[in-house]
Amino acid sequence: MIEASAAFLIKSTLILALASAYCRWTSRSTAERHAVALITLLALPVTAVGGRLLPWSVAFPESLPEMLGRTSSATPAAATAAPVTWLVIVYVCVFAVLMTATFFEFWQSFRYTRRLPEYRGVRPAILGTRIRMRVDRCSSPWVFGIRRPTIVVPEDFAAWPAHRRRAALHHELAHIRRFDWLTNALARCICNVFWFQPLAWVARKQIESLAEQACDDHAIQRGANRYDYAQTLLDIARHRRQESFKLPVSRYPLTERIESILNRTAKREPMNAAKLTTTTLLVLMVICPVACVTLDSTDQPRENHTILPIEPIIPPVYPEEALRQHIEGEVVVEFDITREGTTENIRVVRDSPPNMFRLAAVQATSQFRYPPQQDQQRSVRHMITFELSDESVR
């Protein structure tokens, strides 16, 4: 489990770092950068299971023997299982707390929005009949829901100038058409699952910020004046009152939004179905090979990885001299598997420290038992580690 978690952290860090770097490429449209960041984050489960479902072995030089997989150890089973058990307990506890908090926040938002009064002003025609409008003591509009989305507007929304009301509604309509509420919820759930990957939380924050900028671009494309739109955001921030509910928009940096709005050369094209499909395929073409990579030794045939003993590997006996001096080490052994599944021609490739654990490793290897083979398997390698448990030190 520890090795799988470490492999996931390495591969996911590489993928998320590449996506983050791409999202800072301002020559691409905000909607496109948002799509890349979102697809990368949602594809983290592929990164986690890719190496197990479709392993793609990559050879590494023999000069790195420490990269070999460890198949047996002199540490007692209870001592080796305890750290893994505690790691699983910690992971489950943190995941449960995060998911509970997420569910509670969504449920609280649902109940709060449902209790808000209906908007009594003139209903804009651009909203259609599916979208509801409600009123709250807030400074700027916000959206909640998927199937029957609700746009919540300030109490004085009817007194806003017509062009500001139109720009604000176009911004919120863009959130609804882009399914930003749903994608933000999925991104949060993915972060809860992989809470131990800090770049996942960075990607989630980047996704939410880019979603706001993409909706700003939509409002500008629908005729909003860039300077007046930026001034509206400043006025809202300057006169922001104590909100009766925690607004999602309050978490996003205002500076980046205003810089994007006032940028004359910024690309503001939205994502259509064709561009989204192409972007998804390109991102997956980068993610899938990285997700499926597994390390393999250049001198060890790939088929050896699929040969598992039919009997539990008996831990080698810890040498008394090494136990007395509190010495730990490791031995890489190489052997052949006969057609009957026994081991023969056992030889030590490397041992550290020299000659301390050699005999114990050879004796343990001679007890390995494998399924019957059609042909004799040659040059199978295993690393046997000798580690002292807390009980042994006492």
Contact of 330 with 385, CB cutoff 8 Å:
yes
Q: How many domains does the chain have?
A: 2
Q: Evaluate whether residue 121 is within a structural domain.
A: yes
Task: Please check whether residues 226 and 205 belong to one and the same domain.
Answer: yes
pLDDT bucket at 299, cuts 50 / 70 / 90: very low
Task: Please check whether residues 178 and 34 belong to one and the same domain.
Answer: yes
How confident is the model over 189-214, as pLDDT tens digits? 999 999 999 999 999 999 999 999 99
Q: Evaluate whether residue 26 is within a structural domain.
A: yes
pLDDT at 249 over 90: no
Q: What is the per-residue pLDDT for 122? A: 80
How confident is the model over 127-143, as pLDDT tens digits? 877 889 999 888 788 89
Q: What is the per-residue pLDDT for 354? A: 86
Q: What is the per-residue pLDDT for 320? A: 86
Task: Give CA–CA dist 160/167, Å, rounded.
Answer: 11
Contact of 49 with 4, CB cutoff 8 Å:
no
Q: What is the DSSP string of 70-127?
A: EEEESS-HHHHHHHHHHHHHHHHHHHHHHHHHHHHHHHHHHHHHHHSPBP-SPPPGGG
Task: Please check whether residues 98 and 134 belong to one and the same domain.
Answer: yes
Task: Please check whether residues 184 and 275 belong to one and the same domain.
Answer: yes
Task: Please check whether residues 308 and 281 belong to one and the same domain.
Answer: no
Find, among 387, 390, 317, the residue nearest to 75 by Cα: 387
Q: What is the per-residue pLDDT for 336? A: 87
Q: Whole-number mean pLDDT of the chain?
A: 81
CA dihedral in degrees (250, 251, 255, 256; nearest 10)? Answer: -130
Chosen domain end from 292, 325, 347: 292
Task: Give CA–CA dist 87/324, Å, rounded.
Answer: 30
Task: Please check whether residues 124 and 89 belong to one and the same domain.
Answer: yes
pTM of the model: 0.68
DSSP state of 165: H
Sheet with 343-352, strands from edge to edge, namely 70-73, 377-386, 329-337, 343-352
Q: What is the per-residue pLDDT for 314? A: 65
DSSP state of 69: P
How confident is the model over 344-355, as pLDDT tens digits? 889 998 888 888
Q: Evaluate whether residue 297 is within a structural domain.
A: no
Task: Please check whether residues 263 and 342 belong to one and the same domain.
Answer: no
DSSP state of 388: -
Report the residue count for the chain: 394
Q: What is the per-residue pLDDT for 150? A: 92
Task: Please check whether residues 164 and 114 belong to one and the same domain.
Answer: yes
DSSP state of 319: P
Structural domain harbouring 381: 302-393
Q: What is the per-residue pLDDT for 341? A: 83
Task: Please check whether residues 287 and 306 belong to one and the same domain.
Answer: no
**DSSP 3-state of 289:** helix
- Least confident interval from 44-53, 59-68, 107-116, 351-360: 59-68
CATH code, domain with 336: 3.30.2420.10
Above pLDDT 90, what percent of the chain?
33
Sheet with 142-144, strands from edge to edge, namely 132-136, 150-154, 142-144
Task: Report the amino acid identity of residue 70.
Answer: R
Task: Give CA–CA dist 20/36, Å, rounded.
Answer: 9
Chosen domain end from 228, 257, 292: 292
Task: Please check whether residues 312 and 279 belong to one and the same domain.
Answer: no
Choose between 68 and 34: higher pLDDT. 34
Q: Evaluate whether residue 154 is within a structural domain.
A: yes
Task: Give CA–CA dist 360/366, Å, rounded.
Answer: 10
Find, among 177, 218, 207, the residue nearest to 39 by Cα: 207
Chosen domain end from 232, 264, 292: 292
Mean pLDDT of 298-318: 55
Mean pLDDT of 330-348: 88
Half-sphere exposure in the Cβ direction for 298 (13 Å, CA): 6
Q: Which two tokens stand for residue 279?
A: 């972007």
CA dihedral in degrees (375, 378, 380, 386; nearest 10)? Answer: 120
Q: Where are the beta strands (DSSP E) in the chain?
A: 56-60, 70-73, 132-136, 142-144, 150-154, 293-297, 329-337, 343-352, 377-386
Task: Please check whether residues 98 and 198 belong to one and the same domain.
Answer: yes
How confident is the model over 144-199, as pLDDT tens digits? 988 889 999 988 888 889 888 899 999 999 999 999 999 999 999 999 999 999 99
pLDDT bucket at 17, cuts 50 / 70 / 90: very high
Q: What is the per-residue pLDDT for 149? A: 92
Task: Please check whether residues 312 and 249 belong to one and the same domain.
Answer: no
Q: Which two tokens stand for residue 257?
A: 């939004």
Q: What is the per-residue pLDDT for 151? A: 92
Contact of 318 with 361, CB cutoff 8 Å:
no
Q: Which two tokens stand for residue 28?
A: 């691409």
Task: Give CA–CA dist 192/200, Å, rounded.
Answer: 9
Q: Evaluate whether residue 246 is within a structural domain.
A: yes
